[in-house]
Structure 1
């Protein structure tokens, strides 16, 4: 009597013959969709990271240059000087919003000497704009000082005892 209540499909011996193929196709489709989703997320992450790094680098370059008072980087005064010992220096002085930007190229300073780049003002004050330890050959040093360009009387490289090694101005 219980057997009469069962539908005829229950009397079949096992699953249909193509059931395993259907399961394999379904699992394959799910795996492929998951793989595509992972690839999509990876591409989006890579593109986002690339744009973020580019933005940070562009911002760093922009902040590093800073706005100049009165124009471009090409503007600025170049001061030159030579010492009796044969050292020479050329300093490009550019006025910025907060003071001066200096780029000094120095040659002929004794090897191993502790050096300071010092800005001298017309009223007798001195401001250290940078320091380094000299080595054989030419040295290019960037520095800054909180002085107006119109107040600069000269720029010197001084040694540990504050004796001038070469002065430009």
Structure 2
């Protein structure tokens, strides 16, 4: 009854003659499969990282173009003006799909003065592009108007009574 519980391998007269060779071959196969798995994981990780970085860069370029960053737009005009009171203004005019965008840098306004940035056209119309309350020092203001850049004759900063404080043309 005791012999029935033993597996048939227990009745052999020692290990098989090529056991060392079999063990070495098995261990070699296991090592090779493990090395291949590590290399495969490394390649997948490198590819995933590369795609993620490329996606982030492509998204940044796309967003930068959508926001007008990176010099992809052409500045249609750069207008400058100085008033008799010493106020200075420089206006960058850029045509967009829906009109134009203005970036005005104004200096020399009286502190606390209510100011409006006004665009003048060839046919005598005016468009308010922005407003602010002046303070000591230089102010940079972004604004927009629904007019073509080719129709602009000048840009003014006017006060509450619509009197021009400084005009750039």
The answer, yes or no, to whether TM exceeds 0.5 is yes
- State the TM-score, normalizing by the size of structure 2: 0.64
Contact 2:118–2:126 (CA<8 Å) still a contact in 1?
Answer: no
Q: Which residue of 1 aligns with 2:81?
A: 81
How much has 1:84 moved relative to structure 2? 3.4
106-115 vs 40-49, greater mean Cα deviation: 106-115
* Alignment of structure 1 residues 26-37 onto 2, 5 Å: 27-37=30-40
Contact 1:120 1:127 in 2 (8 A): no
Q: What is the distance in 1 between the residues matched to 2:142 and 2:64?
A: 16
Distance 1:43 1:95, change over 3 A: same
Question: Partner residue of 2:104?
Answer: 104
- Cα distance change on mapping 1:77 and 1:11 into 2, 3 Å: same
Larger Rg: 2
Q: How many residues are paired up?
A: 161
Is the CA contact (8 Å cut-off) linking 1:120 and 1:155 kept in structure 2? yes
TM-score, normalising length: structure 1: 0.64
Task: Output the CA distance in 2 between the equivalents of 1:43 and 1:92.
Answer: 45
Greater alpha carbon shift after TM alignment, 25-34 vs 100-109: 25-34
* Structure 2 residue runs without a partner (length 5+): none
Q: Which residue in the other structure is 2:90 paired with?
A: 90
Match runs of 1:108-127 below 5 Å:
108-110=108-110, 116-121=116-121, 122-127=123-128
What residue ranges of structure 1 are gaps of 5+ in the alignment?
A: 67-71
Paired with 2:27 and 2:111, the residues of 1 have a C-alpha distance of 77
Does residue 155 of the first structure (1) align with residue 142 of the second (2)?
A: no
> Which of 56, 76, 80 pairs up with 1:53?
56
Task: Give distance in 1, aligned partners of 2:41 and 2:85.
Answer: 69
**Structure 1 residues 27 and 91, CA gap change in structure 2 (3 angstroms):** same
Q: In 1, distance between residues paired with 2:84 and 2:133?
A: 21
Residue 89 of structure 1 deviates from its aligned partner by 0.5
Q: Quick one: distance in 2 between partners of 1:148 and 1:62?
A: 21
Matches within 5 A, 1:61-76: 61-65=64-68, 73=74, 76=76
Alpha-carbon offset, residue 163 of structure 1: 6.1
Indicate which of 38, 53, 60 corresponds to 2:41.
38
